[in-house]
Amino acid sequence: MDDSTDSWLLLIHQLPPKPDYLRVKVRRRLQRLGAVPLRGSVYVLPDTEESREDFQWLLGEIRAEGGEAMLCRAAFLDGVNEEELRAMFQPTPSAGSPLGGLAVPDRIEPGRTWVTRHGVHVDRMASAWLIRRFIDPEATFKFVPARGYRPEAGELRFDMYQAEYTHEGERCTFQVLVRRFGLSNPALEAIGEIIRDIDCKDSQHGRAETAGIAALIAGIAEAGPDDPARISQSAPVFDGLLRHFSARPE
């Protein structure tokens, strides 16, 4: 970045609660653009023609999906100076460890209450299975609205706004849980790739099993059971995937 930069572009946006994939799509696009989160849903880039064009394209996509977005040019930001802003855009060394630089995996006392959005689908179903199978066998689950819930003491949120465990970059919540709890298991990594591609509605990993698992999960969701039933009915699917990938070399 040119040290002479004295103005910045701010993309300020608010996304609708539906469709679910939109927040993932926008987050991934901002990451690819190199935009830095400044405050909440405010992202910043140096004021260049390229950055302005990139932000304008994204602004149009957000509005087309029913969201709200505005693009601002700022020469002075209260509470953040030029040196701090420039430091945000300095490249960081790439992680060389399997945990991506995570030195100490998370550990919890069993029997926690895990909170997520109601209307669970693939990432929340798979994450709940992972939690009970590998992280917290005594876990209980609570299902709440997507926004506005205030967690009680000791609760852990996943795959929801401001959750302790949710999407990070291109990783879905299932993959984040695997990484954060240090679950070094090729079978779980393979399952995570399937979950991620279904959840993000693309084919980054292109595993042959993805379409079939997507159909099974959709069938469970479309049958209309409540959230605990969805988690219970989907668990055998993930048990089967675990056996499948554990029985063959990757």
Q: Is 119 left (phi over 0), alpha (psi -120 to 50) or beta?
A: left
Residue 129: exposure state from Cβ atoms within 10 A (0-12, 13-18, ≥19): buried
- Alpha-carbon distance of 60 to 57, in angstroms, equals 5
Question: Options 3.10.20.90, 3.50.50.60, 3.40.50.1000, 3.30.70.240; which CATH number does 8-88 get?
Answer: 3.30.70.240
- Alpha-carbon distance of 222 to 1, in angstroms, equals 49
Domain spans of the chain, in order of start: 8-88, 113-246
Q: Which amino acid is at 64?
A: A
Residues sharing a CB contact under 8 Å with residue 161, sequence separation 6 or more, in sequence order: 146, 147
Work out the pLDDT band at 225, boundaries 50, 70, 90.
Answer: confident
pTM of the model: 0.62
Residues sharing a CB contact under 8 Å with residue 215, sequence separation 6 or more, in sequence order: none
Q: What are the residues facing 135 on neighbouring strands?
A: none
Per-residue pLDDT tens digits for 7-63 = 888 999 998 887 777 888 888 788 878 888 877 788 888 888 888 888 888 888 899
Q: With CA atoms as reference, report the closest residue to 129 among 222, 213, 27, 19.
A: 213
Q: Which two tokens stand for residue 246?
A: 């554990």
Compute the average pLDDT of residues 176-205. Answer: 92
Contact between 141 and 116 (Cβ < 8 Å): yes
DSSP 8-state code for residue 176: H
Helix (H, G, I), strand (E, B) or coil at 154: coil
Q: Which amino acid is at 52?
A: R
